[in-house]
Amino acid sequence: MKIIVIIPARNESAKIGKVIKEVKNAGFEVLVINDGSNDNTSELAKQAGARVISHPINRGQGAALKTGIEYAIKNDYEVIVFFDADGQMKAEEISALISPLENGGCDVVLGSRFLGRAENIPLQKLLTLKLALVFTRLATGLKITDVHNGFQAWKREALEKIHLIQDRQAYASEILHEIAAKKLKYIEIPVTITYTDYSKKKGQSILNAFNILWDLIIKK
């Protein structure tokens, strides 16, 4: 199968080279969407062997993923993996993530840190995710264990069916709503998310959680 790993990145020069090399060593092509970085993220990504598409301004992670999805569909990739640039995810788990798609049993595979491991997760982050999970289950009817986990794998045909309008972090909730609305077959599998001092600094605050909810309300 023709597979590509999409990594949205903004000002990730501290981690991007290492993350790309780990994904490539696992045997996968990498596309980095440089979302208006003002450091040398783009240059380091190219040096590490990734294709790079750059947004001239910061548009948001949702917009970066949409750019990556458009590229993957246009270039006939059969499986598209979403992966973060901050080193929280493990490249060696990509193969397990895409395996259900190769076996033909589903359209989307969602990584779950709560079926797997959430190492060093801050209490505030844990509480925010649990509250968001209750809201998402009620709003979508999806029987999931995790939300806002950017580690996912999709069949191209499934991505062609969904319609994303959120440019920033609210895209993560929007994706789950689209899975429910389009009745896509999904499965969750255990993954590991490791929180480091670096990733915690780049993470989402409680205020951002309210901003995400607001974006979902006003853009529907």
The mean pLDDT of the chain is 92
pLDDT tens digits, one per residue of 69-96: 999 999 999 999 999 999 999 999 999 9
Range 12-31 average pLDDT? 98
Tell me what percent of the residues of the chain surpass a pLDDT of 70. Answer: 91
Is 70 exceeded by the pLDDT of residue 213?
no
pLDDT at 199: 83
Range 107-130 average pLDDT? 96
Task: Give every strand in the sheet of 3-9, ordered side by side.
Answer: 51-55, 29-35, 3-9, 79-82, 152-155, 108-119, 186-194
CA quadruple 27, 29, 35, 41: dihedral sign: positive
CATH fit for domain 3-218, picks 3.30.70.1290, 3.90.1640.30, 3.90.550.10, 3.40.50.2300? 3.90.550.10
Range 180-194 average pLDDT? 98
Q: Say if CB 113 and CB 189 are below 8 A apart.
A: no
pLDDT at 104: 86
- Model confidence at 218, pLDDT cuts 50, 70, 90, reads very low
Is 50 exceeded by the pLDDT of residue 212?
no
Distance of CA 151 to the CA centre of its chain: 5
Is 50 exceeded by the pLDDT of residue 5?
yes
How far is 217 from 184, CA to CA, in rounded Å?
A: 23
Is 70 exceeded by the pLDDT of residue 210?
no
- Model confidence at 215, pLDDT cuts 50, 70, 90, reads very low
Q: Report which secondary-structure segment, H or E, holds 6.
A: strand 3-9
- Sorted by where each begins, the domain ranges of the chain are 3-218
How far is 99 from 101, CA to CA, in rounded Å?
A: 5
pLDDT tens digits, one per residue of 36-45: 999 999 999 9
Q: What separation, in Å, do the N-terminal and C-terminal C-alpha atoms of the chain show?
A: 35
